[in-house]
Chains A and B, each alone.
Chain A
């Protein structure tokens, strides 16, 4: 399949404007959803399409929506998670900047499905341009009657607010994000209760990723079966991959789920300077590193899980043969250490000690035992932290030692060839 679903129109500069969006078939899905479907029918449709969350965890979207309790006298909220903070990930930015109305339409339909009359777009603080584009698009949609009271005369009241974050990675964690909207310091909340039961302002809340929501209008426009026909049986639809690192043409590439990395690398123009592939993160640094041995693995939820990694956010970070694994992982460890919210001891203290060990190795003062020490710290962090951030921090460390233990040993012994990269 060559046709893109989400990034179909993002190359057209005018797509940001509502008129162009409508000309290209926009807001028809909303019209259809409100007039032809009952809310639970939309939930059923999305469930049937097999759409899974694109934020990293891959939870079935229709199922999540169906958990929203409908018989309680509390407002419901939809939150669009645009806190795209995972290193190497820039797909959501592409969508909101290139086709903001697609996201707004997706949010409107999804809100209708779960019975929310108010939605928030939580956008990371660094996306100033994105926030501006979204705000303008929302205003246009309000003028045209796609947002507001009794939209399209179909009896549904609905409003969206754009809420800008202030630069903390932890805000991507859905419950910390809710705290941030509530004006508190962003710290993950205890689960259960899950946000679907008690989320924003203690009310039932669905939190979905931008890419997930952008798929919703397409499912309404085409059909659940059409969507389910794309990709693999359990990873349906397309996936936007963000390819960065040592490739000739870094950027976003939308392909059907299950496309092997090899093909994606070719689309990105291959490895820079004709070098060889050494390793790659398939879905951002929070997913275990893979090597050139995994070039033919399909990029979908199941295939990657099978080989001990994850699809994550779809951020493929490519390292060529000259890259130092130790320095790369040390840099990523520094990221996690800085971004740990500080709430729980293993993550706060553990990530700091991981970094200290890496610094010692890089300072050429490492000891042979340091490799096992790193693994020990990871073991201590993994499974004991309050939220998945701590677990994520251990992924690059454990997986890089698994595949590149020799390089670690050589580095410590002073025999590493690519020590400066």
Chain B
């Protein structure tokens, strides 16, 4: 776009012709007051405070005025200042003068401008008794998080805009007319009766004190808070947060305005679910199980000695491979790195894995095989701004990764086509150009069918295939025998609809494919991922900004924990343990000899081995595997079999109940470290509060322990470990502590200190040379419905909760909005079983039973039960795993349901 020249205060300035005067002034750091402008929202033009003088036009609002060649702008003449004062006088005329008790004071834009423009009292204030307008104050109108105090509202409209344009919830909007205008929810009822998702972004954008956090009420004044940069501890979006701390307590959390993945926004969990940090249930001292099976407090030194003694003995008795360690996708990179190092260097086993095995291991395996790099191909910015087709399958970002759903919402508003393919009709389906509802567990055949249509109709990209793909001839041959008719029968989706998908996908310039556990958590999970990679490869929808496979990761450091090699089959940076060069490299880096080349055991294999008595010792660093792994009853028996079991966690979890020794860990707000989000972006988090009691950061515990084993680990702080990571992992080489401290938020690969990071993967070539196509036959789910168990049970997440609720469940508001544990069933099934909304039903599988309340929803297909995993779902699920990625099939098992009295 050609730049044009305008003059601001006599200075000639070059700018893009699509900018507003306000934006150009902002870029020039000329401050213009505004209450309604927000960089992430569309132009409102409501407050009329951003007045400037434009030659030939007079005093005009700068946010609504687009630049023109030769335009002459003066930003602060006497008239302009006076006109701004007039607006402030009007706004202050019915605004309460209670800054001395207002929670927003110090951070209130109206207060700031009144100060700057010297307005002590509105000139209209004397007329207050003639006030006829009635302003209602809706304090605590039934929502557990938001105070709506409309006496302070200046009707800038930001809250409604963020609700509509960013979140897509449309729960808040301006109602009534004229001076009686007021922000209302729904038909002016309580927020909880609307589509409000309690993300709190309305609070984030409110320039005054009209919308506030209930949690922060009376907890201190703005200037008393220490503000610390952190990363949200929940999903993989990796939202940058600003944590407000007073007296070693978190008062509130805001999104960082320039956060690269979240652009200032948060969701209900990131914004409000932090009460767990200061919960009285936090572990404060090491606990040892005594002979009466009770836990008693012991000193740290004793605890570390016990671990040293027990692991040493087990190692001597049964060999190093009798011990296994499980890291955590919510611990920082440094700690996962150290954890796997502890097991590989000190225990000398590759038996180390973590919870990514249970969610995206199929993605890692599939993408590593087909493309050579296992990560999101693009950045979230590209998704929002560049992708013109977004295929969303097996993921419900609206609830599981809300920040990404905001990005999709914006992309759709920009005009991007949206394809949603999911057995459960998700919220995004309402906004999709086409929604496909296949039968669950039929992804391989469904995506093969789309590929078949693409090939049949010559929609594939021959040039791309020729240059960058291998195995096409074989693939084409395999597809020749593929029957679309059979696909239609198996998936239940008319071929015609898949043809539409193929057309939309192939006619895009940059098409992204987003997925999560609805694709991976099957016994054919890796194959599912490979079919998606195939689609991108045959169409060339990869290797350019905004295009390519884009797995949405479920935990804030699941990408990082994988990168760090907390995996039984990979050293840090996906270097194979059975490759001699890997062993040589790490022996030299760690100054060690005799590292094991034997592939270790995955999460479920470890528990299986424990069940069979082959694994004797286990060390879990953060993770409630008893309830997050399938088939809880089996797991319990496996844990009982262990000779020595250590759990390091922030709470006495259900898994920890089985431990011999429990170590109290600091949570992510209590320590430093880096997290790698779903778009491969590495972000640091800093310490906000002190850990409770004697709890310690995982890296400190591991360092102390290593020294007990006689190793000289001398990390003085987390950043020493980061520096070691820079040396071990080529794609992290340039992501140094110095650059992180300077504010750089780089996406790997970043091979050296000058490298700017890589937003788009696979440009020009793949890490493995050419992309590999795979010929994949359809495989049925493991446990199909039977006369005794005629329904299909599938699991997933809901917005307000996270995993087994050990964190979210400790915030009262979250408990309130979640309510009683529930599952979803189709109205027809409800009718058949005479189950009413809210009535109780019993779900049973071969493995266990669960009683919950029923939510009846046509979004769920007939004969399917959708059970949020948060409610102890794994008492029901089965243990069969994908043979390649070792991921369990959480998404499909046979069950029966009946009305429960």
Query: A343 contacts B46, CB within 8 Å?
Result: yes
Q: Is B47 an interface residue (CB 8 A)?
A: yes
A341-B178, A342-B174 known; A353+B87 contact, CB < 8 A = no
Interchain CB contact (< 8 A) of A359 among B87, B91, B130: B130
13 A–B contact pairs at CB < 8 A?
Answer: A338-B177, A338-B178, A340-B178, A340-B179, A342-B181, A344-B48, A348-B178, A349-B90, A353-B90, A380-B87, A384-B51, A386-B46, A386-B48
In whole Å, how far is B283's beta carbon from the nearest beta carbon of chain A? Answer: 52
- Taking CB atoms, residues of chain B closer than 8 Å to A338 are 177-178
Q: Which of B56-85 contact A (CB under 8 A)?
A: 58-59, 61, 64, 66, 83
**CA of A333 to CA of B775 in the docked complex: distance in angstroms?**
76
Interchain CB contact (< 8 A) of A339 among B59, B83, B178: B178
Query: B127 contacts A385, CB within 8 Å?
Result: no
Residue of A nearest to B61 (CB): A384
Q: Is B223 an interface residue (CB 8 A)?
A: no
Q: Is A168 an interface residue (CB 8 A)?
A: yes
**Additional pairs, 15, CB under 8 Å, beyond known A344-B46, A349-B179, A352-B94:** A168-B177, A190-B43, A192-B66, A339-B177, A340-B177, A340-B178, A343-B157, A345-B46, A346-B86, A352-B132, A356-B130, A360-B127, A383-B59, A384-B51, A384-B87
Query: A348 contacts B179, CB within 8 Å?
Result: yes
Query: A384 contacts B83, CB within 8 Å?
Result: yes
Query: B48 contacts A190, CB within 8 Å?
Result: no
Q: Is B133 an interface residue (CB 8 A)?
A: yes
Q: Is A185 an interface residue (CB 8 A)?
A: yes
- Taking CB atoms, residues of chain A closer than 8 Å to B177 are 168, 170, 338-342
In whole Å, how far is A356's beta carbon from the nearest beta carbon of chain B? Answer: 4
- Taking CB atoms, residues of chain B closer than 8 Å to A356 are 124, 127, 130-132
In whole Å, how far is A234's beta carbon from the nearest beta carbon of chain B? Answer: 25
Query: A386 contacts B45, CB within 8 Å?
Result: yes
Q: Is A337 an interface residue (CB 8 A)?
A: yes
- Taking CB atoms, residues of chain A closer than 8 Å to B44 are 343
Interchain CB contact (< 8 A) of A348 among B45, B124, B155: B155
In whole Å, how far is B91's beta carbon from the nearest beta carbon of chain A? Answer: 5
- Taking CB atoms, residues of chain B closer than 8 Å to A360 are 127, 130
- Taking CB atoms, residues of chain A closer than 8 Å to B66 are 192
A342-B180, A384-B59 known; A349+B94 contact, CB < 8 A = yes
A352-B133, A359-B130, A360-B127 known; A345+B155 contact, CB < 8 A = yes
Residue of B nearest to A167 (CB): B177
Q: Mark A313-354, 1 if CB is under 8 A from B, else 0.
A: 000000000000000000000000111111111101111110
Q: Which of B671-728 contact A (CB under 8 A)?
A: none
Residue among A343, A346, A357 with the most chain B CB within 10 A? Answer: A343
- Taking CB atoms, residues of chain A closer than 8 Å to B49 are 345
Q: Is B154 an interface residue (CB 8 A)?
A: yes
Q: Is B437 an interface residue (CB 8 A)?
A: no
- Taking CB atoms, residues of chain B closer than 8 Å to A342 are 155, 174, 176-181
A352-B179, A385-B48, A386-B46 known; A346+B131 contact, CB < 8 A = no
Query: B64 contacts A345, CB within 8 Å?
Result: no
- Taking CB atoms, residues of chain A closer than 8 Å to B180 are 342
Residue of A nearest to B124 (CB): A353
Query: B59 contacts A190, CB within 8 Å?
Result: no
- Taking CB atoms, residues of chain B closer than 8 Å to A383 are 58-59
Interchain CB contact (< 8 A) of B178 among A192, A337, A346, A357: A337
**CA of A385 to CA of B178 in the docked complex: distance in angstroms?**
13
In whole Å, how far is B117's beta carbon from the nearest beta carbon of chain A? Answer: 14
Q: Mark B801-844, 1 if CB is under 8 A from A, else 0.
A: 00000000000000000000000000000000000000000000
A185-B174, A343-B46, A384-B87 known; A190+B127 contact, CB < 8 A = no
In whole Å, how far is A189's beta carbon from the nearest beta carbon of chain B? Answer: 10
In whole Å, how far is B67's beta carbon from the nearest beta carbon of chain A? Answer: 13
- Taking CB atoms, residues of chain A closer than 8 Å to B127 are 353, 356-357, 360
Query: B45 contacts A345, CB within 8 Å?
Result: no
- Taking CB atoms, residues of chain A closer than 8 Å to B181 are 341-343, 348
Q: Is B93 an interface residue (CB 8 A)?
A: yes
- Taking CB atoms, residues of chain A closer than 8 Å to B178 are 337-342, 348, 351-352
In whole Å, how far is A192's beta carbon from the nearest beta carbon of chain B? Answer: 8
Query: B48 contacts A345, CB within 8 Å?
Result: yes
A190-B43, A342-B155, A346-B86 known; A337+B51 contact, CB < 8 A = no
- Taking CB atoms, residues of chain B closer than 8 Å to A170 are 177
Query: B91 contacts A345, CB within 8 Å?
Result: yes
Interchain CB contact (< 8 A) of B90 among A190, A346, A359: A346
Interchain CB contact (< 8 A) of B93 among A185, A190, A343, A349: A349
Interchain CB contact (< 8 A) of A344 among B47, B93, B132, B133: B47
In whole Å, how far is B163's beta carbon from the nearest beta carbon of chain A? Answer: 14
Query: B91 contacts A344, CB within 8 Å?
Result: no
In whole Å, how far is B17's beta carbon from the nearest beta carbon of chain A? Answer: 13
Q: Is B173 an interface residue (CB 8 A)?
A: yes
5 closest Cβ contacts across the A-B interface? A342-B181, A349-B90, A340-B178, A356-B130, A352-B179
In whole Å, how far is A400's beta carbon from the nearest beta carbon of chain B? Answer: 20
**CA of A3 to CA of B133 in the docked complex: distance in angstroms?**
50
**CA of A190 to CA of B20 in the docked complex: distance in angstroms?**
13
Residue of B nearest to A356 (CB): B130
